[in-house]
Amino acid sequence: MKTLLKHSSQIALCVALALGSFACSQLPSTQAPLPTAVVIAASSTDIQQLAPLTLTDVMQFREIKGRSLSNNQQWLIYSAEPDYGDSSGYVRHLLSEQTYVIANADRGQLNQNGHFALFRQQAPLLAREQAKDDKAAREALAHDAVLLNTQTGVQTLFSQIDKFAFSGDGQFAFLLSRKKDSKDKTQLLQVLDLQTLSLTALGQVTDFVVAPEGDLLAFVSVVSSEPSVKASSAKAKDTRAKSSSTQDNNTHANGTIEKAAELQQVTLYAAGSKNSQVFNAASAGEIQHLVFSENGQQLLFLAGDKAEKNRETAQQLWYWSLQHATANLLVINQDGWILSAGEAPRFSADGQRIFLGLRPEPVAPAAPLAAPQSDEALFATERLLADRKLQVWHGQDDRINSQQKAEYQASLKRTAPAVFWLAEQRLVVLSNDIEDRLYRSEHSEAALISNGRPYFKQLTWQGRLHDIWHVNLKTGQRQQVFAANPSFERAHLSPSGRFVLYQQQGKLWLFDSSNGQRQQLAADVKVSWVDETHDRPEPASSYGIAGWLADESAVLVYDRFAIWQLGLDGNSRNLTPYSRNQALQLRMVQTDPKALALTNNAKLLLRGFNEENKSTGFYQLDLAENRFSTLLSGEKRYDVVDVLSELAEARPHYLFTEQSFRQFPDLWLANSDFSQRSQLTEVNPQQAQFIWGDSHLIDWYTADGSRLQGVVITPDGYDATKRYPVLVYYYEQFSDRLYNFNQMKVNHRPNFPFYLGQDYVVFLPDIRFREGAPGPSATESLLPGIDRLIELGIADPKAIGLHGHSWSGYQTAFVVTETDRFAAAVAGAPVSNMTSAYSGIRWQTGLARQFQYETGQSRIGPSMFENLAPYIENSPVFFAERINTPMVIQFGDKDGAVPWEQGIELYLAMRRLNKNVVMLHYEGEDHHLARFANKLDYSIKMLEFFNHYLKGEPAPAWWQQGQPYQPNN
């Protein structure tokens, strides 16, 4: 049967599938149109002076991380960090070419006006590796802070600094020294005057926070140990209700004196005046979650007893503002509930509201059983059973036991949301359910709450569902907006908080909180508001919205390509009617993340993506004049990363990236219409030394007439008269990555430029899936794509390798049961047996895997009990006897997504059938390899394997002979 699949005709494919488990009727044959004509010309790049990449070269390519701007947007800071090696810190003035580089630096920060920068500076990687096995040597390594004066270029080193921050006014820096011993509970905090570079010690602290504006700092210190009083939860509620003036630093009303214990206290420090204020009344066993308001004029923190392991401790909420002489205790009383540290309190942006979390009052733990004092006590079953280690998996549990375990620590921090109005000193409880999730926003009247409790049990097989509630922030009144929608469907609150827009079952609905009524919007518009290309057995996701108009007369909504203005009066208008014909997907770039709405005359910045040719661009849509204009477009990928509204008076500027397969996404600066652009960074100049390549788009048709696309990447020096070994790497839809720069890392993926340097062509094909037949779908999509490469004269038909990981690891394992077209295959973390994987566990989350098959990526549809056949028919392990392709299976034995026993099943099946197989088992590794040595080893073995079968090089020893078990410490 396998030789039939080597032919390219649709008839051959259909016959081959019919001889297997899949009827030809599943794959209707149609007369497919011809694919788009394409000529991939010979490369014009002279490679005589270019070198192929080594893995050592790959790991030294750098990425831009830690990017931020000074508040006046004049200065840019970032670090260039390699996959393996030493980072460098950079500071760049945006309006000039002034640039500073700090060696071995990262985690940079700028002060308010950009005149100073701070970086962490570590010892070089070589020194860290040399000290790896010597604790004393490790602790002696440099871990410093470097201060850069951007006006003079002077650098100042501060030794052994763990953490740092600038004051909100940019005049000071705060430096937290490293612990001298890992057991130390406190660290020295110092304040640095940036003008004089003088240091002032503030003392030993456990935590500190800096005001976003002004010169204030708040820190937590430990006061001398004195006898303390521990109150019960009920007593703690009483003390929270009392004012700070009646509190004593060491006693609580009606408490009981215990042994001496350390107390913590908060100090407020003004760096400019050097004045400090200690909030003695707020002293407690533990102080946490210090937070300033956005203007730096208010402060919050929680104070309570020292937390016990896995036991909730009642908190007090303390508040200070410029209008108060000291911190005051806010009354947070709710019968049966306590204020929780599980949710950090936060101010609204305007400083008028505090959002916090409540938890049910904890039940006192049972006292531990005393040691037996008699034979009767010795043999008491109660005492003996106290030592049992048991977990009960009940059939009616809301969450299965493994999920409860994975979420246990998070469950201890789940809180019911509440809001405290400062002007009225009034608490409004928004929920009595710790499963409620309050969506953060700056709406002052209302908010939205999500809750999935009614659907916890069916999460196992149906995926996550939730309800959305509209809640009045001033009264706590709740109204249900929708029920049982997939959790990826959010709702969109209007600026006033009155209306809510949402999508359900493909329709757009408007909820009016003033009367509780719902109405369908745009019922007469004949477009889809949900993903038109959706192919999973679950509801398709909506395309989303651009935003509400400020007067709430309309909301801007996306379809697949266009932006629509949907009026609340029933009128609908396509603002970009040309986009569908051009296959141009338009989406608004958020230029003001704090804005609740769009002005009616806004000029919107849009990003466009052409689904057909994969080009991108920036466009402007003038809502007032309904005018659309092109700002920048081309055969690259463009992305806005920052909006600079303060850089120049004349309109905003934009920080953006442009990239292609050959061009790294460095940072660029553009004016408002993108007519003036300048490159700001160049972090990988060494790329010019190496063989790279060019990406090309091709298409083909499957046997049922479906058109697919893929990316062909040819190396520099490509000879159009020569056929090449081809490495196929895929997942679902990779053609959209035509203009993506390949991430330069050593990991579980093949690095494309690295393989180009080894004289390979790389192919990234799209896969189209049929429900109930994910395995055959991969074959149906891949083989015509391979045929197209052969027709174009690119691929050596005897030298094609297949590589996939996770979902495409499964596809790889399945495809080779249906075809011998591939000379070698690598399957990373594949599912091999859907009947056993169906009721497996994703151990990282504790979720059962059933939902993946019934509603998710595996695309089976019915449960295994409703229809067993597709679970068997799509499982490679049941057809392992058909595999003739040499295969490498890779798994980590701590894989939290796919049970690694799936790899063992396939390995044992192929071993029993005497097939060519090796499983690379990386100990202690998760779904994606993390230990660098393992990533490097896998990359080396991958290339050796493909070189052997695709290029005829000698087989590596590990493939020929294996490797005996050896304990790894």
**String of DSSP letters for 169-217:** TSSEEEEEEPPSSTT-S-EEEEEEETTT--EEEEEEESEEEE-SSSSEE
CA–CA dist 345, 172 (Å, integer): 27
Q: What is the pLDDT of residue 1?
A: 41
- DSSP type of residue 902: H
What angle separates helix 807-815 from helix 774-791, to the nearest 10 degrees? 70
Helix (H) or strand (E) holding 225: strand 216-230
pLDDT tens digits along 7-65: 333 433 443 343 333 433 355 555 778 999 999 999 999 999 999 999 999 999 999 99
**How many residues would you count in the chain?**
969
Supply 624's token pair.
Answer: 């007032």
Q: Which residues pair with 653 in a beta bridge?
A: 644
Which DSSP string do the residues of 329-370 spell out, in sequence order? EE---BTTEEE-TTS--EE-TTSSEEEEEEEEPPPPPPPPPP
**Torsion, Cα of 692, 936, 800, 893 (10° steps):** -140
Supply 765's token pair.
Answer: 């094909």
Which of 849, 573, 614 lies closest to 712, judged by CA? 614
Give the pairing of strands 693-701 and 677-679. Answer: unpaired
CB half-sphere exposure, 635, CA atoms < 13 A: 8
What angle separates helix 10-19 from helix 774-791, to the nearest 10 degrees? 150
SS3 label, residue 584? strand
- Between the CA of residue 441 and those of 349, 360, 465, 496, 594, what are the distances in Å? 9, 25, 22, 12, 9
Residue 455: CB partners within 8 Å, gap ≥ 6?
A: 462, 464, 465, 466, 484
- Between the CA of residue 509 and those of 540, 596, 611, what are the distances in Å? 16, 20, 28
CA–CA dist 305, 142 (Å, integer): 37
**Torsion, Cα of 947, 952, 954, 958 (10° steps):** 50
Displacement of CA 953 from its chain's centroid (Å): 40
Which DSSP string do the residues of 775-837 spell out, in sequence order? HHHHHHHHHHHHHHHHHTT-EEEEEEEEEEETHHHHHHHHHTTT----SEEEEES----HHHH
Which of 629, 482, 660, 503 lies closest to 566, judged by CA? 503
Which amino acid belongs to residue 903?
G
CA–CA dist 382, 372 (Å, integer): 11
Give CA angle at 613 (612, 619), nearest 5°: 95
- Greatest alpha-carbon span in the chain: 93
CA–CA dist 15, 10 (Å, integer): 9
Q: Which residue in the block uniquely carries the two structure tokens 């659309």? A: 628
Which ranges constitute the DSSP H helices of 412-470?
459-462
- Between the CA of residue 760 and those of 588, 754, 937, what are the distances in Å? 39, 9, 20
Q: What is the pLDDT of residue 28?
A: 56
Which of 799, 830, 969 lies closest to 909, judged by CA? 830
- Between the CA of residue 605 and those of 21, 579, 590, 613, 620, what are the distances in Å? 52, 15, 8, 22, 5
CA–CA dist 756, 716 (Å, integer): 8
Q: 695, 739 in Cβ contact below 8 A?
A: yes
First to last CA, the chain: 47
CA–CA dist 660, 924 (Å, integer): 36
Q: Is 591 exposed, middle or buried (0-12, 13-18, 19+ CB in 10 A)?
A: middle
Which strand ranges, in their side-by-side order, compose the sheet holding 795-805? 693-701, 707-715, 761-765, 724-729, 795-805, 824-828, 887-892, 917-922
Q: Which residue in the block uniquely carries the two structure tokens 């055969």? A: 635
With the C-alpha atoms ordered 840, 845, 850, 852, is the resulting torsion angle positive or negative?
negative
SS3 label, residue 687? helix
CA–CA dist 70, 91 (Å, integer): 10
Q: Which residues pair with 316 in a beta bridge?
A: 303
Residue 523: CB partners within 8 Å, gap ≥ 6?
A: 507
- DSSP type of residue 272: T
Q: Which residue in the block uniquely carries the two structure tokens 């009606």? A: 254
Q: 174, 192 in Cβ contact below 8 A?
A: yes
Q: What is the pLDDT of residue 238?
A: 33
Q: Which residues pair with 478 in a beta bridge?
A: 471
Displacement of CA 887 from its chain's centroid (Å): 32
Which segments of the chain have a pLDDT < 50?
1-25, 228-257
Displacement of CA 133 from its chain's centroid (Å): 33
Supply 474's token pair.
Answer: 């001033």
Supply 446's token pair.
Answer: 């209302």
Q: Which residue in the block uniquely carries the two structure tokens 């977990």? A: 391
Q: Which residue in the block uniquely carries the two structure tokens 């080893």? A: 937
Q: 17, 7 in Cβ contact below 8 A?
A: no
pTM of the model: 0.92
Q: What is the pLDDT of residue 230?
A: 43
Report long-range pairs for 673-676 (Cβ below 8 Å, ≥24 apart): 673/620, 673/631, 674/618, 674/631, 674/632, 675/631
Which DSSP string do the residues of 749-763 spell out, in sequence order? SPPHHHHHHTT-EEE
Q: Is 246 exposed, middle or buried (0-12, 13-18, 19+ CB in 10 A)?
A: exposed
